[in-house]
A and B are shown apart, each in its own frame.
Chain A
Amino acid sequence: MSTPPRRAIKRASVALAATLLTASTLSGCGVFGSPDLVVYNAQHEELLDEIVPMFEEQSGLDVELRSGKDLEMANQIVEEGEDSPADVFLTENSPAMSIVDNAGLFAELPEAATASIPDEYVPSDRAWTGFLARSTVAMYNTDTMTDADMPDSILDFADPEWKGRVAFSPTGADFQAIVSAVLELEGEQATADWLAGLEENGVIVQNNLVVMQSVDSGEVDAGIAYHYYWYRDRQENGSDSDSSALHFFGNQDPGAFLSISGAGILDSSEHKDAAEEFVTWLTSTDAQQAMAESYALEYPLNPDAKLDPAVKPFDELEPPTVDVASLNGPQVTELMTAAGLL
């Protein structure tokens, strides 16, 4: 015992006093204070960090973000039920919106919030609205492959010739949304077979950025992801995209699936006016144009907003027709768990 006991006690009480002081200072300066609007955000945090300050300035409201992943937050909201602190829920993909919608936890959106969004991106009960879209793509390494070597359909990646050559991130909500589209378009058995093939062939990585890196570095020949990862890297410095290219499946293939990011207002919200103002703003031309001009490079859904022409034009994507309200999250998780991917 190197410390004289009395000094040690004194030290401990100083530490205790310091704790209480810091705690009270924290609550005093509003770190733990209550905001005007709480957004559970499963969209990219970086994008919201960029556009939310614009809304705050325009509306004078104080917005707090809580970030997480699509299905995690959707299930968390369901678990929270009436007690949910969330006012608005934003996702990267629509299956998470359906989970909350199926639990009856969304309030109907005001007319203005969906006025500028084409009908196919709003479910018929108008419980939520799409506000951005992303296209499924395959990336391939340009040193080892050409576009002609790429398969006609995303389902072909389950073929034995792709063993050890294709990277994907099964834990990501993005990939799970793609699976939900395959499920919707091809049925349960075909999806299970496809997943089993991918489990056999695939190189599993933790997210789509690592998919891109693995393809670009030549670790694998191809990878499954969304379009914007590659375009963003190109726009930034190209260090992870200079030896790779995108392959768009088009032709209404499940691999051309267009995934819709959704925004909805919780029925339990105590800040409904602020929430309606936010979602309406999010679909307005101003906000949509701001997102189109941001680093994000996702497709705005308001037809008046224009994305960088370097990105493959929205009307050339030829996506399959999928009802936005029909994509099933829980069944996808079950199928993926059964395939050993989760």
Chain B
Amino acid sequence: MPLAYVAFYVVVIGPVDLWHLLARPRIAELLRNTVTLAIACMAATAVLGVSLGVLVERTDLPGRRLWHGLLVAPLAVPAFVNGYAWVSLDRSVHGFTGAFTVVTLSYYPLVYLPVVAMLRRLDPALEESAWSLGHSRARTFRTVVLPQLRPALLGGALLVGLHLLAEFGALSLLRFPTFTTAIYDQYGSTFNGAAATAMAVVLVLLCLVLLLAELRLRGNRRYARLGRGAARSAVPAALGPWRWPLLGVVGAVVVLALGVPAYSLVRWLVIGTSTEFPVAELAEALVATIALALAGAVVTTLAAIPVVWLAVRHRGWASTVIERSTYIANALPGIVVGLALVVASLRLVPGIYQTAALLVAAYVILFLPRAVVTVRAGLEQAPTMLDDVAHSLGTGPLATARRVTLPLIAPSLGAGAALVFLAISTELTATLMLSPIGTHTLATEFWSASSELRYGAAAPYALLLVLVSIPATVLLMRSDGPATRTERVPA
């Protein structure tokens, strides 16, 4: 529907005016900013995610379990809280360098998690065969392990790219204009202006480029194995003299990604002149956030089930298109989706305008892909054979779904819901626009305080946001994370 909205307004604007709006220096500047930041961050998160994953999973780095926990933990710190933490400590953190640093530190777990999951599932026998054939460890890694990591790496990098295209809060705080922040600025001046729609068109195209690139790079290879393989862990590589320097590197990442926001938050809580703890407002925002995020997570996950069912059990180009099209909304900023829903609800069903129901609908549109990705991985691993066996034993289709398939995919439903919960609790722009009058969430309150530079007043909300995110992050850490979809079991 947001796509239909964008398309509708493109028609309303007309090709001549659209061209006029697109062919101007500002668009070139935004395009340059958006593309360079996306490429730089995807490359940096890929390098960081893979090297950290290998270090933690495949070497004798001291304290590996502890480091794993600490390396995933930044997922619980929303990017805009991270941006706030940096910019409020040092005003010189801004522009490209600032945006690159903060975004990379916030998003690298999106690559790290799937890479770790993949490394854990690789059968060490593959590598051992390579060694027995005389390959060195380094060469084995390059020719055997790395190609296997490809889908996890690409999937993770795709998520980073999509997140980045839609990122508003962090980039706005760090003063690095991209299409999303520019759309927001236009919206602030016109609400429903042609220039904003024109920029949304460019954003959709960028998203398409990303999706196609990922499909292309991933290729048609299958990465499944036929047997179950050996359920044992690989022999860790000895780091030797590199042990301590590398430990230092991992430590530095944790300090930058986790230490800086923690220090900054505590500092503002303690010394901020505008720090206050309005208990009633904090509690109200907390309850509203949790209620909206829970409702959104449940509805989104339920909505993901039919999409995934079609995509996995009835493969074909149509189901691929349906599945992939949900990604586009993921890269559209919340503001475009919000605006589409405002316009649509006012013209079609004014009764639901500014109700919680409409806001939840926006969340479903925005975050369906995240649930789809995770639930899909679960369903891919549930063999159809089991359904057939159940059928042959006289169980009806509904009962099969309830007693066989549902229990099999339940963990991935949980992980999908956790991912959506995380995303909703930190959603800002659609919430600002669509929330019922008088409803404030932690994210909107945080934003209103931090954009007035009342850093101290923003701190309690930021802290609560992090606390709310912790349970979902733990749940994700236990499951295999968002990009397990890339592992295919032969159909």
A contact residues vs B (CB 8 Å cutoff): 1-3, 5-6, 8-9, 11-12, 15-16, 18-19, 22-23, 26, 31-32, 35, 38, 44-46, 64-69, 71-76, 78-81, 83, 85, 170-171, 173, 176, 204-207, 209-210, 213, 217, 219, 236-237, 330, 333, 336-338, 340-342
Contacts and interface: CB of A to CB of B under 8 A. Distances in A.
29 contacts: A3-B410, A8-B414, A9-B406, A12-B410, A12-B417, A15-B298, A23-B291, A23-B356, A26-B287, A26-B288, A31-B284, A31-B287, A31-B439, A32-B436, A69-B189, A72-B188, A72-B189, A75-B191, A80-B346, A83-B350, A170-B185, A171-B185, A173-B188, A206-B172, A210-B453, A330-B190, A333-B190, A337-B195, A342-B186
A79 B346 contact: yes
B145 interface: no
Interface of B: 21, 24-26, 29, 91, 172-173, 175, 177, 182, 185-193, 195, 273, 284, 287-288, 290-291, 294-295, 298, 342-343, 346, 350, 353-354, 356, 406-408, 410-411, 413-414, 417, 432, 436-439, 448, 451-453, 478-479
Contact of A209 (B191, B343, B406, B453): B453
Task: Tell me whether chain A's interface is mostly helix, strand or loop, or mixed.
Answer: helix
A75 B437 contact: no
A79 B408 contact: no
B437 A38 contact: yes
A83 B182 CA distance: 29
Contact of A45 (B187, B417, B448): B448
Given A3-B414, A9-B410, A71 B188 contact: yes
B188 A69 contact: yes
Contact of B408 (A5, A11, A85, A340): A5
B410 A8 contact: yes
A2 B479 CA distance: 8
A269 B29 CA distance: 43
B414 A12 contact: yes
A79 B188 contact: no
Task: Tell me whether chain B's interface is mostly helix, strand or loop, or mixed.
Answer: helix
B346 A18 contact: no
Contacts of A19: 291, 294-295, 298
B407 A6 contact: yes
A8 B407 contact: yes
A35 B452 contact: no
Nearest to B343: A79
A67 B435 CA distance: 11
A67 to B, nearest CB: 7
Contact of B411 (A1, A85, A205, A206): A1
A22 B291 contact: yes
Given A12-B410, A35-B438, A83 B29 contact: no
B417 A5 contact: no
Given A9-B407, A26-B291, A83-B353, 15 more contacts: A8-B410, A12-B417, A18-B294, A19-B298, A23-B295, A32-B438, A45-B448, A71-B190, A79-B343, A80-B353, A85-B437, A173-B188, A206-B451, A340-B26, A341-B26
